[in-house]
Every structure is written in structure tokens, then in C-alpha cells.
Amino acid sequence: MAGMKDAQRVTDAAVREVAGPADGIALFGDLPRTARFELEPARRFIDHAAQEYRKCLDSRDADGVPSHLPRASGLLFGQFDGNEITISDIEFVPNVRDSDESVMAEFEGTIAPRFGDVYRNPGRGFWSDEKGVLQAIKDRFTSGLELMGSIHSHPNWHEIGPPHERYQKLSEHPTLMDEYLFRQSCWPVNVIWYVHENSRGMAHRVAGWRPGTDECDRLDIRIPSAICEAFNVESLPGV
Amino acid sequence: MPDVSHSVSKSLPAPVVTIKLPTAFNALTGGQKQVDVEGDSIREVLSGLERSFPGVLERLMDQKGSVKRYVNVYRNDSDIRGLEGLETKVENQDVIWIVPAVAGGSGTTGAQESR
């Protein structure tokens, strides 16, 4: 019983010390600055993102307005060698943004009031099924692969979306809500894959982000050149 | 024969559980991926974790003393939110998984114009 009370005091004291958001510099420390993708996880994600984007384009009505919002996201697994992170596996788990009651409540109660009513639209944002995340971690634990973070797509919705939503310009940069979630969860690798169209057809720009003290800092993302050449991918270097 | 189960149980050492730590906590744990901690409940083992790695609880708990919505704590396969929360009892050789949420998404423009 005494031990329990001690534990309660320790927990309570630690909680009381949390005067502000959990953004102390110690939390972010020396997060790696480079993440290198191996071929297979990059190829699997681009297949998924491209398929979603095409489905979106195919859903356009007579006025050119699509009914399908292209969403692709995945869990990134790899290893850190002390210098850089290598991403060697990807797992796609269900997005429960619009089906898990507690997640929907989080969007309604916290995210929408803070970042705008657009997040009351259940088609906005992703939240990976938490049981699926745990299982994916367990499946790779013995092989030494760790969950390093996530990747998700941003479409050029400001160009192809419904007219009333075109004021929202998206890119490979994090939205304010992205930054909030990246810094809350503190995964070291957060990749945004921007899908758009240019004169050569479907094109991609990729950037990585790591949580920092005040905002997210650029992560140097290395995509295999074979992927960049085959799929019209531009990978932005870190700064 | 007198019932001694209560006094016997009080003299037993606390269970030892293994806490699996996410890479998200590397900066706090020096890259340590798991740690064995004593305690009778999730609250006790998390307090033990805090003693080993000061600052961890700041990542885990909100100002009301609850586990943050953006962090999941599992006893073996079970989310403690579906059990008794921080008061969930643990047993020897239980594995406690700490798994931050994986979430994000498009919606509004961010700070990109300034970068």
C-alpha cells in the first residue's frame, strides 16, 4: 500500500510539473536528420497513393468535381544505425478516422475546434487503427524492425477538389494539424507525399518532417533514384 | 489453520514486467528499447519508468493525470482504457507496450509559406 501511495505521489508530481504542452527540448533530443527508403516500401506506397489518386480522378462528375477524396497512409518500419534511419518495410493498417468512436470524438472535441471546421468532415485526416499498429509492431519486433513513423499523401485538392474547398492549398508540407499530431506522437519520421499533375502526368513531391521544439523541422528523405525516375518523384532535401 | 494468505501476499515481491518503449521515446531513453520494472499496477510500473527515464511521464500523461489520447498503453494485448486504466493490475512477466498514435492528415494550410 505504501508503495502504491509513493507511486501515486510520483505520478501526481510528474503530472503537476506539466505546466504547458509536452514540447520540452529533451523530448526531441537528437532525432535523426536523415531517413533513407529502400526500394520496396517506396514502391508499395507509390502504388497505393497512385491508385487512390486515379480513383479520385475517375470519380469526377460532369463538372469535373470528384466524389472520392484520395487518401493513402502507411506505417514505416526500419532501423536506426546511429547516423540515419533506413526504412525497409511498410504496413497498411485501416484508417479508423471515420469509424472509431473515440477518434471521431477527438476530432470533434479537440482537433476541429483548434484547427477548423474542415476537420468535422470525416474524410479529412487519418488515424491508424491502434490494434493494427500494435500488431504490426509485434510482428516485426523479433526481426529488429521498429516503427519509425508514418507516411501519408496530400492530393492537390486545391486544384481538383470541389470548388468550395479549393482555397485549401496542400503540398508536401505539413498542415498545422499535421504538425500538432506529429509533435504529440513524437515519431521521428513523418513523411508527406504530395500527389499532383504536371505536364508529364501524375507527379509526386516528397518531404519528411521530424518534431521539433517549436515546430516540425525538415527531415532529409532519400527515395531510391529508380523510383524517382520511374514515377516522376521529386524528393526535397532536408535543411 | 489460520488464514495467512493476506500476510503472505504482502511479503511477496512486486511483479516484474517488461515495458516495450517506442522509438518516439528514444531521446528520453537513450535508445533503450525495453526495460524491466517492478510494480503491482500500471501506475506503479509507469512511475518506475519515470524514475529510470525522467520526463517519460510528461509524454504519457495529461494535466488531469490521465494517459493522453495520443498515447496507448497496452497490458499484453489489452488497451488499459478498456481495463482499469492506470489502476490495472499487472502480473509477473506481463509485457507493457507504449505506442503513440499514428495520425495526421490534410485539411488546412500550415506554416509552409514561411519555409
Measure CB to CB from residue A175 to each of B50, B72, B109 and give the nearest one.
Answer: B109
Query: Domain A35-93+144-235 falls in which CATH fold?
Result: Cytidine Deaminase; domain 2 (3.40.140)
Using CB atoms within 10 A of its CB, is residue B75 exposed (0-12), middle (13-18) or buried (19+)?
Answer: buried
Residue in A with minimal Cα distance to B66: A15
Q: Does A55 touch chain B (CB under 8 A)?
A: no
- Window 32-61 of B, Cβ < 8 Å to A: 33, 39-41, 43-44, 46-48, 50-51, 55, 57-59, 61
Which domains are delineated in chain B? 12-102 (3.10.20.30)
Chain B residues near residue A35 by CB distance under 8 angstroms = none
Does B7 have pLDDT greater than 80?
no
- In a 13 Å sphere around the CA of A46, the CA atoms on its Cβ side amount to 25
- H-type alpha helices, A93-129: 101-106, 112-115
User: How far is Cα A140 from Cα A148, in angstroms, rounded to an integer?
Assistant: 12
Please check whether residue A35 touches B, CB under 8 A: no
Residues B18-56 pLDDT 10s: 999 998 888 788 888 899 999 999 999 999 999 999 988
Which of B55, B54, B39 has its CA nearest to residue B87? B39
Residues of A within 8 A of B89 (CB-CB) are none
Tell me: ipTM over 0.90. no
Option in A73, A131, A185 nearest B100 (CB): A185
User: A144-187, pLDDT tens digit by residue?
Assistant: 999 999 999 988 888 888 777 777 778 899 988 889 889 888 89
Cell triple for B66 = 490521465
> Does the pLDDT value for residue A3 go beyond 60?
no
How far B45 CA sits from the closest chain A CA (Å)? 8
B27 contacts chain A (CB < 8 A): yes
Structural domain boundaries in chain A? 35-93+144-235
Query: pLDDT tens digits for B65-107?
Result: 889 888 999 999 999 999 999 999 999 999 999 999 999 876 5
Sort residue B35 into left (φ over 0), alpha (ψ -120 to 50) or beta: beta
CB nearest to A119's CB, from B20, B62, B107: B107
Best A5, A6, A16, A18 residue to mutate vs chain B (most B CBs within 10 Å): A18
